[in-house]
Structure 1
Amino acid sequence: AQETWEIICSIQGKDPDELSAEEGSDEEMLPMPKQDNLTEIFEELQSVDQSRRNKVIERMLENDQAFLFKLKEIFEALEGIVSEDGLHKMFLVFKALLNISDMRLLETLLSDKYYLTTFGVLEYNNEISTKHIETKHRKFLKETLKFKQFIPLENEEVIAKIHLNYRLSYLKDTALATGLDEC
């Protein structure tokens, strides 16, 4: 494997030792979220190429989704202090997460544990809120939407997939489409 790597690097005119040192650790690639590094995380997520995509996704999902849980905590804190700048940065981070288009990541972001955070963050799109349009995805999903079973389903996995499917459709057709209305 090392020999093959060296051949590839020589064809590209690059030093194989420098490239492996550039990769760095997962921590350097995608630092644990803090309020003061959201812009850095957004930029890193936007620049993720195919070769690093899986590593970045694994980083977000490892340790019982510690990365995503930290984002959730930061969002709740920013919303508590009404930090418009911080909330918009959080919106950009989540938009970048969704643009990665990985099914494992989407399933996690739309799971029972994170879906209200995901849709809550999407309420802070400055492009829409400046036009005096107030989006209340969480209110709709918690209060208006009611899941009714016409045929009783006892399989919890099937019910979870139904909820995931609805959340995915709502995300695509409503939460993300809202910004496209002005185009």
Structure 2
Amino acid sequence: MGAQEKSSNSNNPMQEKMSSHHGILGYSELVVLMRVKVYRLNDDGKWDDQGTGHVTVDYIERSEDLGLLVADEEDHETLLLHRISAEDIYRKQEDTIISWRDQEYSTELALSFQETTGCSYIWDHICSVQRNMHFSNLNNETFHSVNSDLRELPPVDLSTLPLILKTVVEGGIADQLRVTELILHDQDFFSKLMDLFRISEDLENIENLHIIFKIVRGIIMLNSTQIFEKIFGDELIIDIIGCLEYDPDAPHVRHRNFLKEHVVFKEAISIKDPIVLSKIHQTYRVGYLKDVILSRVLDDATLANLNSMIHSNNAVVVSLLKDDSTFIQDLFGKLKLPSTSAESKKNLVHFLHEFCTLSKSLQVVQQHRLFRDLVNEGIFDIIADVLQSEDKKLVLTG
């Protein structure tokens, strides 16, 4: 898309490795991913350090546009506010630097990340935002002229499966956009397709199952966030994964059996919020689909969109749990209770560790509030206790 990767100049001062910052709350590992230095190219052609802070991708105030926001790590003042552009202005260098020519500042700007993971995460976001801009423009400019002949999808029936496959996988970007629009407008499309899948599986009609696999794979490759929300919802996800078991070019792997029988959701602490539970299950299943089922075929754009969905889910889970005072109190109550078994305590500690790790999905201000609440609940007492454990893995988690 608009963003491109390039190697950087070896004399670039931005390449100096940022030193690890160990804050007084001891959560450096959590905030460090989004920690950046902001650089501005001065008139002498040298990079001026504008300060160190934490970067997020968020909506710009009083606007529907997305931008890069960097808040100073000390006083939380805004170091940088950049509206993401659809133009080809972004460069990724040496896995830790993103730079661009900024029209508003009339100069080159750059973010130097402390961690490659954080750089990749923001880079994926920029690419995703640009992709949506380009798709939106195509939608506005070319839909009616290019796709005037595609007014509706073929009826969903066993006899029309080859025609549905042809409609989904053939054509250019504008055709795919039209297909996406038609699929989203047909409320019964997926329920009918899954009915055909179950019928074909009952009849052991391998030819139909292979076609349905290609249709579902093709729909995923349309890379529509709205379609992802539908097919990865609680009602459809298991059948969708079932369809993807019938890859004609690969051995038959029973993914549904694995997910049902071997993946057990360890509920260290009772989670009552149905939205949280749904997001946790969805995140695992989308990750499994991305990393196992379709790992060979996903392109970078679809991969980035699925990763964005996972990050978004993590943010929702952490955001809802952090505001549930009863949940937080129950968690720490069980951790401090002498009668809690060693195994249960270990599961609770791992849960707390994952909870804190996922909090990097939150905005920096929200992270600080969460850590303040955890300190008030006595997280340092828990850490001190865990560090004295004879279980080396548990000590490492601590």
- How does the TM-score come out when normalised to structure 2? 0.36
Counterpart residue identity of residue 149, structure 2: E
Instruction: Return structure 1 stretches of 4+ with deviation > 6 angstroms.
Output: none
8 Å contact kept, 1:127–1:179: no
Q: Please, which of 81, 96, 103 is the counterpart of residue 203 of structure 2?
A: 81
Instruction: Provide the residue aligned with 2:100 in structure 1.
Output: none
Bigger Cα Rg = 2
- Tell me the CA shift for residue 107 of structure 1: 2.2
Alignment-derived partner of residue 105 in structure 1? 227
Q: 1:66 aligns with which of 172, 188, 192?
A: 188
User: Is the 2:209–2:246 Cα contact (8 Å) retained in structure 1?
Assistant: yes
Q: Which residue does 2:154 correspond to in 1?
A: 31
Partner in structure 1 of residue 180 of structure 2: 57
Asked if structure 1 preserves the Cα contact closer than 8 Å seen for 2:162 and 2:211, the reply is yes
Pair 1:48–1:150, CA change in 2 (3 A): farther
Change over 3 Å in CA distance of 1:139–1:178 after alignment to 2 = farther
Letter in 1 for 2:190: L
Is 1:96 the counterpart of 2:222 in the alignment? Answer: no
Q: Higher strand fraction: Structure 1 or Structure 2?
A: 2
Give the corresponding residue for 1:122: 244
Equivalent-residue separation in structure 1 for 2:228 and 2:147 (angstroms) = 31
Give the counterpart letter for 1:101 in structure 2: N
Tell me which amino acid in the other structure corresponds to 2:264: K
Greater relative contact order (Cα 8 A, min sep 6): structure 1 or 2? 1
- Rounded to whole Å, the distance in 2 between the matches of 1:48 and 1:148 is 45
Distance change >3 Å, CA 150–CA 41, structure 1 → 2: same
Q: 1:158 aligns with which of 268, 272, 276?
A: 276
Map Cα deviations across residues 38-75 of structure 1 (whole Å, 9 max, x no partner): 11111111135443444433432335x30000100000
SS in 2 for 1:105: helix
Q: 2:321 matched to 1:170? A: no
Which stretch shifts more, 36-45 or 145-154?
145-154
Provide the TM-score with structure 1 as the length reference: 0.74
Amino acid at match of 1:138: R
Given candidates 42, 50, 63, the residue that maps to 2:165 is 42
CA drift at 1:162:
1.4
